Amino acid sequence: MPVDAQVQKKEFDFRELSIIPAFFIWWLKIVPSKIIYIAKKLILKAFAFFSIDLLLKTLILPWKRDEIDTTNMSLDDRLKVWIMNLVSRFVGAVIRMSVIIFGLLTIIGIFILQVIALIGFILMPVIVIGLIVVSVT
């Protein structure tokens, strides 16, 4: 057996079956697996787009790394700089949490839409027949 034949993935050959079983295998196995594959890719893209893992790692860092060093300062100036640094960390945390929440809501929305697409595709013949019956009566 040649190496190329071993490397290539064996795909299902519809020519071996009659049209009815081939249709049902396509309808209930192949297309739903592609919908699930696309959903997984979209969720991973959204997770990477919003950089949720990086935002969680840097949650309490100052906003845009805006932090002032307090060496050789008086106590009064150190207190002011400490408060400014604390405010910068708070602003950074609020903005990062907002992006994380928006990203998670987007991922949940993608998941819900993909589940609806999967169920809708599988139930499409039932929906079409139901609409025909309702329109005739």
Q: Is the full-model pTM beyond 0.85? A: no
For 68, residues 6+ apart whose C-beta sits below 8 A from its C-beta are 81, 84, 85
pLDDT per residue as tens digits for the range 60-115: 877 666 666 767 778 888 888 888 888 888 888 899 999 999 999 999 999 999 99
Nearest by Cα to 117 from 37, 58, 53: 37
Half-sphere CA count of 121, side-chain side, radius 13 A: 17
Q: How far is CA 76 from CA 49, 87, 89, in A?
A: 43, 17, 20
Q: What is the C-alpha R_g of the chain?
A: 28
pLDDT per residue as tens digits for the range 18-68: 888 888 888 888 899 999 999 999 999 999 999 999 888 888 877 666 666
Give the residue extent of every domain in the chain. 17-132
